[in-house]
Chain A
Amino acid sequence: AQTVTQSQPEMSVQEAETVTLSCTYDTSESDYYLFWYKQPPSRQMILVIRQEAYKQQNATENRFSVNFQKAAKSFSLKISDSQLGDAAMYFCAYRENSGGSNYKLTFGKGTLLTVNP
């Protein structure tokens, strides 16, 4: 079974600084997606960034970028120039891209990010 591990229950960063959130996963599949979701206190899950496993280039969305290491099964999220509005719970998630379970997202337990002014 696929598992997603976020080893940092909590992280903090100073405003305008850079922070990296860690995520590792376990799968025997070669074709899959990885995601980072943000969940602010409003509870609304917001997709931050996604990475397709067959793409070697790391995904980037403005201040958010990932370091995808397929062999190591690692998928970290880097937030640059952190802003107060980045404070939230961040979830790493995995989904197969084909096969019988390609509809199911598997989530890590989350990392609570605090941004200090």
Chain B
Amino acid sequence: GAGVSQSPSNKVTEKGKDVELRCDPISGHTALYWYRQRLGQGLEFLIYFQGNSAPDKSGLPSDRFSAERTGESVSTLTIQRTQQEDSAVYLCASSFSRGGFWYFGPGTRLTVT
């Protein structure tokens, strides 16, 4: 595709349920990033993937959060046992290389009721 895509666009879930968010980066982009944007806040770094290297997971807020990426393709961010404080927009971005310029997806708005 021409840009970074994310699905679903919006997700409403009940507290305690698991959710899976998907990011399709631009083809050929080796680097992929997940950020969280809470209402009225800036973007918080969650995780970074670079090719087949070990990801930087230092931003994941708890062990309920995990993310996977196979090679340079799709990434999924999984949140287990969702809590109300997980409500946010989850943004994905990709870049051609480490240190390259970023292209953002439209985000997934997660609402935990």
Contact = CB atoms under 8 A, between A and B. Distances in A.
Nearest to B59: A104
A62 interface: no
B104 A107 contact: no
Majority-rule SS of B interface residues: strand
A45 B104 contact: yes
Contacts of B1: none
Contacts, number: 50
A105 B102 CA distance: 9
Contacts of A50: 101
Q: Bin chain A's interface residue count.
A: 20 to 34
Contacts of A46: 104
User: Which of B50, B98, B102 has most A Cβ within 10 Å?
Assistant: B102
B43 A43 contact: no
A49 B45 CA distance: 21
A103 B48 contact: yes
A47 interface: yes
